[in-house]
Amino acid sequence: MNNLIIRSLLTALARMGVAEVCVAAGARNAPIIAALIESEGVKLWNFFEERSAGFFAIGRILADRAPVAVLTTSGTAAAEVLPAAIEAHYQGLPLVIITADRPRRFRGTGAPQAIEQKDLFGPYVSACLDVEVGVSLSWPTRIGPRPFHINICLDEPLDTNLSGIDFLAHHGPAAPKSPAPPPFGLTGKATAVIASGLSRAEADTVAPVLAKLGLPVMAEATSNLWGQWPNRPPLNALLHEAAESHFQALNAQQIIRIGGVPTARWWRDLETRPDIHVTNISRLPFPGLARTENVQMQPWASLANLSKYQLPPAQVADTVPDMHESLSSHPLSEPGWIYELAKHIPAGARVFLGNSLPIREFNLVVSAMQPEVEFYANRGANGIDGIVSTWLGVSAIVRESWLVVGDLSAMYDLAAPWIMPQLPQGNRRLVVINNGGGKIFSRVASLKHLSRQAKHVIENRHRVTFAPWAEMWGLAYLKIAHSDELKDLPDGPLLIEVVPDAEQTDAFYAMMK
């Protein structure tokens, strides 16, 4: 009887638009895997552990903007996908989580490979479909912009002699039309835009609106608004790097946030500034602020109406230090190295930014990038979890991709390169900024007065180097001491280790205060 619900599962996946499944195999999900292998029109990626599979799936969704499934066996294997489910929830991504399970009668018994998998992902999925032979249910035909959990109970015998389906022969209904957006509640006060977390296609839509508005735009690297792009109006006269010094020099009384929640500290400080009106235009339902006074949400469809408004522009004071001059005078500082990377990453590359210091430091130097460089990042709900795996998903089918990540982020995802032999050939540059620990904490004001021992513990200081990691996974390795070594890199996957100068890093940030 398992074959009937497995066939129904595959048909539902096809109707939801799933064309890729990330598989972490076990005995309980073997019948589903066997049927997938016999199917047409679906790509399988196989993993030995579930956390990497979940984050790789997120990378594939980010790259192609289509649903991707991750399939686990029963027991704690299912729980390993929770961090990816949380990330997908806050990014609004259609991650389909399929967990094979023992029949319902085993729940609460303590029997091997039996845990309470139903509703395991709690509020981080739109629904949990608990499937068992003989239980009638309605299979979904489409998936919205949130994770969805299918828990499929399979009884023994676990027959693996199953036929597949043609995924291309099944199509779900089209997405319903969005309702007309409500009118804006904008004021006539000095206005600036903050842009973050936009895909390239979204940035193509946003660019002409910003050009018509003529407002200053504090654009993070992940806004994908910087640089030269075909069929876009020039924006460089409006764009400002999302540096804290630029925010502090901004006299805005009204902010329009477009895209994801910004990483800037200044955004968090808006919690205590109810006098500054905030309008959020995003595909996500999250305002990014806990305060409700003078904060409004607008759906993405309202963007087209924004250019109808004539709003007074806020001003950015011209007392801001010259960022590029400061970077050039501290070439071995961590931001200095990021500046050199920005200049050497080739045009047309995909770049994934780590959630700790790299994403913030790239915001300082993004104007130095080559044309058509596309940025990605996780929201960071999991801190530094799954970053290498997500990047590999994003880079799976492109020729040139770069990851810039901190040392602890790299160590958090040491299993990620397992998938690389399954990827097409390409120049995948994994850059590890090794500053010997979580140095972002040294810049947190509330932690500055801790004892030296406490700082060691919080920063997880270490003396690890990354050549053995590269050797483990068969990656070429390069430890660089000068930016000239970024020229003429060899083809193929390459791990680049950079060790910044701590004194120059401190001097740079002291100059920027």
| Residue at 256 is within a domain | yes
> What pLDDT is attached to residue 321?
66
H-assigned helices in 214-333: 244-248, 265-269, 303-306, 323-328
Structural domain includes residue 8: yes
pLDDT band at 382 (very low <50, low <70, confident <90, very high): low
Nearest to 73 by CA among 25, 39, 105: 25
Chain segment 497-513, per-residue pLDDT in tens: 999 988 898 888 887 76
Is residue 456's pLDDT more than 80?
A: no
Using alpha carbons, select from 418, 461, 424 the residue that is nearest to residue 439: 461
436 found inside a domain: yes
Distances (CA, A) of 280 to 283, 296, 299, 368, 499: 10, 6, 8, 28, 39
Which amino acid belongs to residue 489? L
Q: Do the Cβ atoms of 499 and 435 come closer than 8 Å?
A: yes
User: Which of the listed residues 316, 338, 371 is the one where a domain comes to its end?
Assistant: 316
Band of pLDDT at residue 299, cut at 50, 70 and 90:
very high
Q: How far is CA 153 from CA 103, 156, 197, 276, in A?
A: 5, 10, 38, 52
Q: Is the pLDDT of residue 314 over 90?
A: yes
Instruction: Give the Cα separation of 164 and 306 in Å (integer).
Output: 48
Q: Is there a single domain that holds both residue 422 and residue 498?
A: yes
Residues 287 and 336 grouped into a single domain: no
Pick the more confident residue, 511 or 74. Answer: 74
For a pLDDT cut of 90, what percent of the chain falls above it?
Answer: 74
Do 234 and 357 share a domain, yes or no?
no
Residue-number span of the structural domain to which 388 is assigned: 323-512
Q: Are residues 467 and 488 in the same domain?
A: yes
**Given phi > 0 = left and psi -120 to 50 = alpha, else beta, which region is 17?**
left
- Total structural domains within the chain: 3
> What is the predicted pLDDT for the residue at 107?
94
User: What is the phi/psi pair of residue 479, to 5°?
Assistant: -105, 120
What pLDDT shows up at residue 279? Answer: 97
Looking up residue 222, the CATH number of its domain turns out to be: 3.40.50.1220
Query: 388 in a domain, yes or no?
Result: yes
Residue 135 sits in a domain whose CATH number is: 3.40.50.970
pLDDT at 28 over 90: yes
Q: What values do phi and psi take at 311, rounded to 5?
A: -120, 140
Q: What is the pLDDT of residue 262?
A: 93
**Residue 349 has what pLDDT?**
97
pLDDT confidence band for 355 (50 / 70 / 90): confident
pLDDT at 443 over 70: no
**Per the domain annotation, does 259 fall within a domain?**
yes
Residues 23 and 43 in one domain: yes
Backbone φ, ψ for residue 475 (5° rounding):
-95, 145
Specify whether 336 is located in the same domain as 484: yes
One-letter amino acid identity for 69? Answer: A
Q: What percent of the chain has pLDDT over 70?
A: 97
Q: Residue 299 forms beta bridges with which residues?
A: 282
Give CA–CA dist 424/400, Å, rounded.
Answer: 11
Instruction: Inform me whether the pLDDT recorded for 460 exceeds 80.
Output: no
**pLDDT tens sequence across 154-167:** 999 888 889 999 99
Give the per-residue pLDDT at 140: 87
Q: Over the chain, what is the mean pLDDT?
A: 92
Mean pLDDT, rounded, for 30-49: 98
Q: Is the pLDDT of residue 248 over 90?
A: no
Cα 112 from Cα 206, distance rounded (Å): 53
Residue 301: which residues within 8 A CB-CB, separation 6 or more?
Answer: 178, 180, 181
When pLDDT is cut at 50, 70 and 90, the band that residue 446 belongs to is: low
My answer on whether 341 and 307 are in the same domain is no
- The pTM of this model reads 0.94
